[in-house]
Structure 1
Amino acid sequence: MDHKTNTTLLFSLLFSITYLITIATSKDLCNQNDKNTLLKIKKSLNNPYHLASWHPETDCCSWYCLECGDATVNHRVISLTIFAGQISGQIPPEVGDLPYLQNLMFHRITNITGQIPSTITKLKYLRSLRLSWLNLTGPVPDFLSQLMNLEYLSLAFNQLSGSIPSSLALLPKLSYIDVSRNKLTGTIPESFGSFPAEVPHLIFSHNQLSGSIPKSLGNLDFNRIDFSRNKLTGDASMLFGANKTTFSIDLSRNMFQFDLSRVVLHESLGVLDLNHNGITGSIPVQWTEYSLQILNVSYNRLCGPIPTGGSLQRFDSYTYFHNKCLCGAPLDSSCK
């Protein structure tokens, strides 16, 4: 056997070994049922370029916008996050056929229309649901209360209408609710004063909610509340208290009426925005003891001097102006 033949045989052997190694190391980890479902989702979204990596001949665990779990869940798809792409259509009902999904996100895709599909209720392991900056219509569905492992819910920046379902308060692990920037009406559910475990952040701003805040909310210690830019009325003072460790409260641009003189804050409060309401009374002297980072009480019916000392003079006049008879620095009007 000559040298040329030996070289050819050696090359062939090396090629075969390399090919076998490639085959062995490129084993498709993706579950076939998950892959089939994902390809249906891609087709339902009109095969967008954004999902070009979703090719049937490749391992779906390597596809863009996806994450597979480890061997303990047999590498099933646990996260689907589609965002900021040139995609149109509706949220495919097939998303409910990814049974191990923990995180589902459609975000900043304004050509996604229609309603939230009920098939989502099949996702028993779902922990985070973010359907935001889309163009969804219809209600905030009551069936979301079936997602018993849900911790994070954001439906912000859509065209959702109707009321906020009271059944969301039944979710035992929910720690964040954001339904801001929609067209929601009705009242804040009374049931939101009795969450079973952790008290969630409540972000309801930029809607058309009306009525008064349920007194039951006064029993809870929230971290963040944003009810701004609605049509809420009545007393909101129950949200405050020396025993509340709330960091941020935004009640601005509503029609609340209560006496600010009686409001006691906790030292943990860093953000307080009450502008554009009908709040009366005066700013308590005790507020000089707090280290507020953001404060706005403008456009109310407050009277009396702005207490001196502490951080209250650190804010400019825009924090205090357009009140009935508030006076003292940093306002130009002096107290008589």
Structure 2
Amino acid sequence: MKKSIFIIIITIIIFLSLPTPSLSLSKPCNKNDENTLFQIKKSLNNPYHLASWQNTLDCCHWYCVKCNKTTGRIIELTIFSGNISAQIPPEVGNLPYLQTLLFRKLTNLTGQIPSTITKLTHLTMLRLSWTNLSGPIPSFISQLTNLNYLDLSFNNLTGSIPPELATLPNLGTLHLDRNKLTGTIPGSFGMFKTVPYLYLSHNQLTGDVPKSLGYLNFTWIDFSRNQLTGDLSMFFGTNKTIQVADFSRNNFEFNLSEMEVSGTLSHLDLNHNKVYGSLPEAFTSESLQYLNVSYNRLCGKIPQGGNMQRFDNTSYFHNRCLCGLPLPRC
């Protein structure tokens, strides 16, 4: 009798542990989304890269596609590293539940960014990088108010940076680097509601960095290889939490000895500018893991302590009169 009861209990436990059909099965791909994907494939000239896009297979299982398992709606379209010669299909705007849109490392992808992406109101990541997209950065991107990550790097984009990008309320990362952008950094960038990781390097930007940016507490900034001018000390201070800052190869000119540095700074690159003065004692903080102030107009003795003597002499050379280890004795 006891053995029978024991077997019944074990059977019940095993039965309850099995997944129910309603939870184990995913909803099939939405037919409207499937038709849109076929249109996108046609606009991309039916590349071999998308050979799995066939009606013999549920489109939630296609390469470069991800569905919401509950609704069957397409939430990710990530096309990368393929031999595709085309423009971004305007039909991408007909995937209304898309959260991630990525076209990356497609060197034969040309044309401009289509305005139909403004219909993608759920989009949190837009990554159009390492392509041959051209034309201006369209201001209509600011309509994608749920964007957290915007990457337009490694393209042939021209013109100025739209000030409207600063109105994106949830932006955490902004990549505009490696393009052919001109003009100044918009003063509106000092009004970001969330302070993004900001990458503007390898462009042709000019003018002073707007003072409004100094009101924000950036963590990561890369303005390297432009033609920017002015004072950068506004980004630093004992109340700032900046960690990585690359301002190399510009025309910045300010007194470095007056700059206050917080204990969070780990990477600072100022090489090839017109920075003058001396190196602050605060640079001896153990948190500073990388420093390059070469090719400037600095003078004085290199402070002792921290990693200052562990940095290679190339971190300091070609200045007006810096001295002390690892450079020659003062």
**TM norm structure 1:** 0.90
Q: Distance in 2 between matches of 1:241 and 1:125?
A: 37
Match of 2:172 in 1: 175
* 1:57 CA drift (Å): 2.5
What does residue 46 of structure 1 align with? 45
Cα distance in 1 between the residues matched to 2:130 and 2:253:
33
Question: What is the distance in 2 between the residues matched to 1:286 and 1:296?
Answer: 15
Give the Å deviation of 1:70.
2.5
Cα deviation for residue 312 of structure 1 reads 0.5
Quote the offset at 1:287 in angstroms.
1.6
Partner of 1:242: 238
How far off its partner does 1:28 sit?
A: 7.1
| Structure 2: gaps spanning 5 or more residues | 1-23
- Equivalent residue of 2:217, what SS? coil
**Where does 1:7-18 land on structure 2 (aligned, <5 Å)?**
none
Partner of 1:157: 154
Q: Counterpart of 1:100 in 2: which secondary structure?
A: coil
Please tell me whether the aligned partners of residues 178 and 204 of structure 1 are also in contact (alpha carbons under 8 angstroms): yes
Alpha-carbon distance in structure 2 between the residues aligned to 1:64 and 1:310: 50
Partner of 1:144: 141
Q: Is the 8 A contact 1:28 1:58 kept in 2?
A: no
Give, as a single letter, the amino acid of the residue that structure 1 aligns with 2:238: A
Give how far 1:293 is off. Answer: 1.3
- Aligned residue runs from structure 1 range 88-99, under 5 A: 88-99=85-96
- Cα distance in 1, alignment partners of residues 282 and 132 from structure 2: 46
Question: Are 1:133 and 2:117 an aligned pair?
Answer: no
Partner of 2:35: 36
Using the alignment, how far apart are the partners of 1:214 and 1:122 within structure 2?
Answer: 32
- Structure 2 distance, partners of 1:262, 1:234, is 15
Deviation at 1:26, TM superposition (A): 9.5
Cα pair 1:28 1:59 within 8 Å, conserved: no
2:76 match = 79
| Aligned residue type for 1:334 | R
User: Against the structure 1 CA distance between its residues 260 and 27, is the aligned structure 2 distance closer, same or farther, given a 3 Å change threshold?
Assistant: closer
**Partners of 2:59 and 2:68 in 1: CA distance:** 12
Partner SS for 2:92 = helix
1:250-295 superposed Cα distances (whole Å, 9 cap, x missing partner) = 0000000000001111111111000000000000122213421111
Aligned residue in 2 for 1:7: none
TM-score (norm. length: structure 2): 0.91
Alignment of 1:171-320 (within 5 A): 171-196=168-193, 198-320=194-316
Task: State the aligned residue count.
Answer: 307
Give the match for residue 17 of structure 2.
Answer: none
Write the distance in 2 (CA, Å) between the matches of 1:132 and 1:97.
Answer: 21
Give the ranges of 4+ consecutive aligned residues of structure 1 lying more than 2 Å apart after TM superposition. Answer: 25-28
Matching residue of 1:329:
325
CA contact (8 A) 1:39 1:56 kept: no
Partner AA of 1:95 in structure 2: V
- Asked if 1:102 corresponds to 2:99, the answer is yes
Q: Aligned partner of 2:262: which letter?
A: H
Question: Which amino acid is 1:70 matched to?
Answer: K
Structure 2 residue 109 is matched with structure 1 residue 116: no
The alignment partner of 1:314 has SS state of coil
Q: Distance in 2 between matches of 1:161 and 1:189?
A: 15
Deviation per CA, 1:32-87, whole angstroms, max 9, x where unpaired?
A: 0000000000011111111000002320000000000121xx21000000000111
Aligned-partner Cα distance in 2 for 1:287–1:62: 53
For residues 234 and 286 of structure 1, what CA distance do their matches in structure 2 show? 22
**Aligned mates of 1:298, 1:312 — CA distance in 2:** 13
- Aligned counterparts of 2:287 and 2:57: Cα–Cα separation in 1: 56
Instruction: Tell whether 2:163 aligns with 1:166.
Output: yes
Residues 89 and 112 of structure 1 are in contact (CA less than 8 Å); yes or no, is this contact kept in structure 2?
yes
2:12 corresponds to = none
Percent identity of paired positions between Structure 1 and Structure 2 = 63
Q: Which is strand-richer, 1 or 2?
A: 2
What CA distance in whole angstroms lies between the structure 1 residues aligned with 2:91 and 2:290?
Answer: 45
Q: Secondary structure at the match of 2:297?
A: coil
User: What is the DSSP-based 3-state SS (H/G/I as helix, E as strand, rest coil) of the residue aligned with 1:188?
Assistant: coil
Letter in 2 for 1:56: N
- CA–CA distance in structure 1, aligned partners of residues 233 and 133 of structure 2: 34
Root mean square deviation of aligned Cα: 1.2
Matched AA of 1:30: C
Name which of structure 1's ranges 305-314 and 273-282 shifts more when overlaid on structure 2. 305-314
Secondary structure class of the residue paired with 2:103: strand
Aligned match of 1:17: none
Q: Which has the larger radius of gyration?
A: 1
Q: Specify the code of the residue in structure 2 equivalent to 1:34.
A: D
